[in-house]
Amino acid sequence: MNNKGPYITITGLKYYAGSESFFPGMTLKMKKDKKNQYDDEAIAVYAIRGGKYGYVANSVHTVCRGSHSAGYVYNMFDEETYCRVMFICEDLVIAEMIGDDVDE
């Protein structure tokens, strides 16, 4: 993946770390959640060295306009990849997929 990846919406923040845990420029790990019983294309989002922060949105009700769903990006990587936080809006985060171009 090149450095200009698609934007994604991260949702479910209130169930995990909360939006106050994010900051612009923050790098996060995206990992396919193949055991998710509710969504065959579920992608969980984690801190680089920590717990789960949420999921890539995969519903027309949760994907922000201008960003892509988990279903759209699911086949763009094997098991895991990375994204960088761009914007934070209350209970949603917009991030850009960056592939393996990670500065820890």
Question: For position 89, what pLDDT does the model report?
Answer: 86
Q: What's the confidence (pLDDT) of residue 49?
A: 83
pTM for this prediction: 0.89
Mean pLDDT by runs of 10 across the 104 residues of the chain is 78 86 93 94 92 93 92 94 93 92 66
Of 70, 44, 53, residue with least CA distance to 13: 53
Q: Any idea which fold 7-99 has?
A: Alpha-Beta Plaits (3.30.70)
Q: What is the pLDDT of residue 2?
A: 46
pLDDT reported for residue 58: 94
Beta-strand ranges (E) seen in the chain are: 7-11, 27-32, 43-47, 52-56, 80-89, 92-99
Q: Where are the domains of the chain?
A: 7-99
pLDDT at site 104? 58
